[in-house]
Amino acid sequence: MKRPFQRSIQRASLAALEFDFLVVGGGATGLGVAVDAASRGYRTALVEAADFANATSSRSTKLVHGGVRYLAEMQFGLVSEALEERAILCANAPHLAHDLAFVVPRYHWWEGPFYGAGLKLYDALAGRRNLGASRLLSREETIRAIPGVREEGLLGGVEYHDAQFDDARMALALARTAAERGASIVNRMRCVGLVKDEGQVVGALLRDEETQEDLRVHASVVINATGVFADEIRRLEDPTVKKSLVPSRGTHLVLPRDFLPSDRAIMVPHTDDGRVLFVIPWHGRTLVGTTDTQVECAELEPRSTGEEIDFILRNAGRYLAREPQRSDILSVFAGLRPLAKPAGADAAEGEGHGSSKRLSREHAIETSRGGLITVTGGKWTTYRRMAEEVVDAAIEVAGLEEQVCRTSTLRLHGFDRDSGIQAGLPDARRLYGSDRAALEELERVDPAMAPPLCATLSITASEVHFAVQSEMARTVDDVLARRTRSLLLDARAAAAIADIVADIMAPLLGWTPAQARESAAAFRAIASGYLPA
């Protein structure tokens, strides 16, 4: 029988059992591992110190893609693998991921044959799982496809297909999918120590961030999937281990829809630093990103710099009819990519600690002498395959009976094939998939829950209720940043309704008026960092 996805019930299940797998970290990687392990039948637990997808995994460019830019680097195997995973993700979660057409505008004669040939190769690598054939567009077709494109000097365009999704909602679907298969999934539960027996890691000391109660949990294998914070967990086992990550900050801007009033996206093939830039329709807005800035320290709430904002405005402005200004920005958000340190870099680091490492071109799986498995790097598109590799490695480390991976055809929570864009549903409701029925029931019982809480955001009181009662939201930030995407869509408007959201949450969570005000104030402090200085 499935346990309801409520924190009290999930937390109770965490305290009652020993586990085969204990996953630390509730982002894309950790949640993917929990789904894989639980669906194979292993006793699985996952703990997240803050909220699911609180950091990097809710701040992506919202794309599920094969990586067009890797074609120029001749990394065809990497692209082919990602394209296969793109198709699997879209098939297993059509309410969250869907086809998106991209147009590369052409301003030079050679761009047509150059990009056209490259994108035909992209089609070929996707094979039967291709989302749509690439094609050359005339000048007129390009203007119709992406109104708002700079028309001066425009010769035409090249269209190709990738996929788009909502990252935070995808993470939540993974959490609920794992729980439905028997896993204990708990947020606001921090790993503060590792339990050892004769030098082997056999569990973790956890601290409930809400009650400050400590809990000792045993497991056959502990998996460190904490992204940019992975080194902190590694040092709980061995304080002398060296840095394994090179975090990189990616900044995105959210602009009004009228900068790209289209259901197609623009791919800018060349920016000042040689990276590609995307201008994407997303939830009735225009999303532009991203930068690539190496940083020294990992932060839960990284802040974009003025230079990064100017970089995006400048490069996007070269391809848009109306050049965006700072005053047009509705929200700025940044995420830190947990890039694995390149093989051979600082070769002496990590030597002598008895660790083994399996490297791919985008992620690394390391097993310490004590049996702690750490996974770093990776991206949303290939989260499922990465999770499969991690679980396979963990089975070997723990000496567990091998079970076959089942996630390639596993439908994620909320699966609803009728939730696609063709159904004409608003984005905000389409994301709920089969859970739309629960929202509609709340609104049937109390029609006052149906209207939006403000004019510029679609969030309703019913969604706040559902987030608390069925999606483990514990703070105003959980609701406005991740259960709904209000913070990313309009930071000012989200801050303005923080008190309203807190008042709705208060009786559901047993908050006092002071606690409600505190949660709202904490959210406004976060939201202030989502606006350009």
pLDDT tens digit sequence for 134-164 = 999 999 999 999 999 999 999 999 999 999 9
Return mean pLDDT, the chain. Answer: 92
Cβ contacts of 274 within 8 Å, gap of 6 or more: none
Per-residue pLDDT, averaged over 478-500, amounts to 98
**What CATH code is assigned to 7-56+169-244+341-409?**
3.50.50.60
Averaged over 216-234, what is the pLDDT? 97
pLDDT at site 141: 98
Distances (CA, A) of 446 to 430, 438, 454, 465, 473: 21, 12, 18, 12, 21
- Write down the architecture of domain 100-163+246-337 according to CATH: 2-Layer Sandwich (3.30)
3-state secondary structure of 96: coil
Which of 316, 368, 310, 365 has its CA nearest to residue 343? 365
Fold of 432-530: Helicase, Ruva Protein; domain 3 (1.10.8)
Exposure on the CB side of residue 462, measured as CA atoms within 13 A: 22
Residue bearing the bigger pLDDT, 386 or 272: 386
Lowest average pLDDT, out of 252-261, 309-318, 333-342, 362-371, goes to: 333-342
Q: Looking at residue 439, what is its pLDDT?
A: 96
Higher per-residue confidence, 4 vs 14: 14
C-alpha span between 413 and 382 (Å, rounded): 19
pTM for this prediction: 0.95
What confidence tier does 338 reach under pLDDT thresholds 50, 70, 90?
A: confident
pLDDT for residue 194 is more than 70 = yes
pLDDT tens by residue, 447-458: 999 999 999 999
Evaluate if residue 223 carries a pLDDT over 90. Answer: yes
pLDDT tens, 288-314?
A: 998 888 888 889 999 999 999 999 999
Q: Report the pLDDT value the prediction gives residue 297, as an integer from 0 to 100.
A: 85
pLDDT tens digits for 111-132?
Answer: 999 999 999 999 999 999 999 9
Two structure tokens written together for 413? 């929570």
3-state DSSP assignment of residue 277:
strand
What is the pLDDT, as a whole number, of residue 378? 86
Question: What is the C-alpha separation between 120 and 122, in angstroms, rounded?
Answer: 5
CA dist 157 and 147 (Å) reads: 12
Phi-psi region of 307 (alpha: psi -120 to 50; beta: other; left: phi over 0): alpha
Which tokens is 183 given? 């896993």
Tens of pLDDT, residues 15-51: 888 999 999 999 999 999 999 999 999 999 999 999 9
Q: Is 50 exceeded by the pLDDT of residue 444?
A: yes
At a CB cut-off of 8 Å and minimum separation 6, what does 441 contact?
none
So where are the chain's domains? Answer: 7-56+169-244+341-409, 100-163+246-337, 432-530
- The two tokens of residue 55 are 């950091």
Chain CA centroid to CA 282, Å: 15
